[in-house]
A = this chain, B = another copy of it.
Amino acid sequence: MFPKKVHYGLRFLLTLSGLAEGSHLGVAEIAERERLSVKFLEAIAVALRKGNIVNVRRGAGGGYSLAKPLKEITLYEIVLLLDEKLDKTIATEGSTTEKAVGRFLTSVRNDYGRLLRRVTLEKLRNYFAEENESIMYYI
């Protein structure tokens, strides 16, 4: 249902969220930790930067950091930046059936958008924390 870009983007942000205040992490480093393609992750990072989700510091010793805490980032922003499907308009022209179906599906898409806007990445962080706890028990 969600493209890989969204999955990878969330893992990227999750990794950044573990960073100390004021520090940065490079894409190559993150890609290695997460076992993801460097080049593919680069493109995702650029998109997130353009959407003001992350800050960048270019050049040697640079990398990315979160522009705001996870609880202030909604899933809607992420999906909008990394999955172009959401904003392309549904045709509401043509025959009466076409118009009716177009308006109907548009209203559902709007409801879906509202749903995504209510979900923040704080929930993601909670899942992440849980996973790490359960690993702790093994040790």
Residues of chain A having any CB pair with chain B under 8 Å: 1-2, 6-7, 10-11, 14-15, 34-35, 75, 85-86, 88, 90, 95-105, 107-109, 111-112, 115-116, 119, 123-124, 127-128, 130-132, 135
Residue in chain B with minimal CB distance to A75 = B108
Q: Is the CB of B90 within 8 A of A1?
A: yes
Q: Is the CB of A34 within 8 A of B97?
A: yes
Write out the residue numbers on chain B whose beta carbons fall within 8 Å of the beta carbon of A109. 1-2
Residue in chain B with minimal CB distance to A101 = B10
Give Cα A7–Cα B100 distance, bound, in whole angstroms. Answer: 10
Instruction: A11-B101, A112-B112 given; name 7 further pairs at CB < 8 Å.
Output: A1-B86, A7-B98, A101-B124, A103-B127, A104-B123, A108-B115, A111-B119
Give Cα A123–Cα B85 distance, bound, in whole angstroms. Answer: 24
Q: Is the CB of B95 within 8 A of A34?
A: yes
